[in-house]
Amino acid sequence: MGTIIFSNIALPGTYLNGKDISYASKKEALESAPDDFSLIINGRSDKSLKINPSDIDYNAEVPSDAKIDQNPFTWPSALFGNKKENFDFDYKVFYDKDKLDKLIDNSSLMSNVTEPKNAKIAMKNGEFYIEDEVPGNKVDKEKLKKAVIDNINTKSNELDLDDNYYVNPEVTSKSKQIKDALLDAQKLKDMSIKFNFNGFDLKLEGDSLLDLFDMNDVGPELNYDKVYEYAKYLASETDTYGKNRKFNATGIGEIVVGPGVYGFKLDVEGMVDKIYEQVNSRKSGVIEPVYSNIAYVRTDDGGDIGDTYVEVDISRQHLWFYKDGNLIVESDLVSGRPVDGWASNVGVGQIVNKVANTKLRGLNFDGKTSYETPVSYWMPIGWDGEGFHDAPWRSAFGGNIYLTKGSHGCYNLPPSVAGALFKNVDYVTPVVVYESSTNNSPGMAY
């Protein structure tokens, strides 16, 4: 009788994929899906998710060719021998993927997420330090889904999410990258950058240097806009181009002269490049200024008119040329006729060029006809077309000649004076033009 019964019934101690099916119908045991499966997922921040079979329409089947092959004649030993016999088959698992996705998306694992943050260099009270990373609790959903599916397929009941299941900081406080960045940042504290402007004590160091930086994901990084503004500040402090100047006029004393084409003008973008180059070297040093317009000299007080210059007083119709403090040339002259826009301009120009044996061309006073005049010496002083040249056609200079018989704007000189000036004056020598007692002349273009 027992042999007949256990031909269709599982022997005592029989297990199917870990489940006790003793005395159960073999056929029904193979056909029945396991109903005791559930999965508990444990994550960071005390977050968890429990997945029940009904949540995802879970179903599992053993292979169609699976058999519980037992010898029914061994039922007495199975009954009294307390022996276990295991039959393990790979289940074919079915579940609703959309429901699984939604279940994961709506779980606490995916809510109130704290994003991971890399360790970074921070600064407090002028000191750099490493700010620790933030691990966060952002789950890598694709890795989690794969692990859940693997656990469903293997009927594992618990999944503990370790670091591999999370989006973790790429840079930690122990990373060589951040430690190197700290050492690099600390070099900034000891840097001192000087600028070679005679007459100015300008340094980029300490807070003024650190203020040019932003703190990025790794460490301090120069902010271009801040560096540009600093270069503009240097220009505002040191530029002489386009500014009025105090000048010690011969026989008069201190006067104020307007601007012209002469003066120092800093190349702001060029200075930005220089600052970047020096700062990125992490070494102290001296930066040589980069100019878009350069003057003859930078004096100890930061000015640009030293003891070498050409001086012209239109009111006195007179010229002086000083070189290294010595009067080299002095002469009366004839300037532009101060009517109908022919007056010579005032301001601070410079010897732009020196040309021998050339021809000067322009319009006559009628504004219609033109002239062409050969000269032996031509020294333009700006962009207005004005300059010094010899005027051999004149027999007299100085006085009030210019009021009625003045030039077209240039400074007419006796040939010997023009020759002496041409021989001794250097390019870029400042030319200071003013009116001491009249007010007929416009300012120079610049």
How much is the pLDDT for 131?
92
Contact yes or no for 119/175 (Cβ under 8 A): yes
pLDDT value at 179 more than 90: yes
pLDDT digit string, tens, across residues 304-338: 999 999 999 999 999 999 999 999 999 999 999 99
Mean pLDDT of 26-38: 71
Whole-number Å distance between alpha carbons of 281 and 372: 58
What residue spans define the domains of the chain?
1-106, 191-293, 309-434
- For the question of residue 389 being annotated catalytic, the response is yes
Whole-number Å distance between alpha carbons of 280 and 270: 15
Q: How confident is the model at residue 150 (pLDDT cuts 50, 70, 90)?
A: confident
**Helix, coil or strand: residue 3:** helix
Q: How confident is the model at residue 1 (pLDDT cuts 50, 70, 90)?
A: low
The gap from C-alpha 202 to its chain's centroid, in whole angstroms, comes to 23
In a 13 Å sphere around the CA of 355, the CA atoms on its Cβ side amount to 12
How much is the pLDDT for 18?
75
The whole-model pTM stands at 0.71
DSSP 110: G
Mean pLDDT of 90-110: 88
pLDDT value at 244 more than 90: yes
The gap from C-alpha 325 to its chain's centroid, in whole angstroms, comes to 48
Q: How confident is the model at residue 23 (pLDDT cuts 50, 70, 90)?
A: confident
CATH class of domain segment(s) 309-434: mainly beta
**Helix, coil or strand: residue 204:** strand
CATH class of domain segment(s) 191-293: alpha beta
pLDDT digit string, tens, across residues 192-201: 999 999 999 9
Report how far apart the first and last C-alpha atoms of the chain are (Å, whole number): 123
Whole-number Å distance between alpha carbons of 160 and 179: 32
Mean pLDDT of 132-145: 93
pLDDT exceeding 70 applies to what percent of the chain?
Answer: 98
One of 410, 413, 421, 433 is an active-site residue; which one?
410
- For the question of residue 11 being annotated catalytic, the response is no
pLDDT digit string, tens, across residues 245-268: 999 999 999 999 999 999 999 999
Whole-number Å distance between alpha carbons of 414 and 394: 8
Q: Which is nearest to 120 in space by CA: 213, 165, 185, 188?
A: 185
How much is the pLDDT for 90?
75
How much is the pLDDT for 33?
57
**Helix, coil or strand: residue 278:** helix
The strand pairing partners of 20, in sequence order, are 15
Average pLDDT of the chain, as a whole number: 92
One of 351, 389, 406, 407 is an active-site residue; which one?
389
pLDDT digit string, tens, across residues 281-304: 999 999 999 999 999 999 999 999
pLDDT value at 2 more than 80: no
pLDDT value at 35 more than 60: no
Whole-number Å distance between alpha carbons of 381 and 353: 8
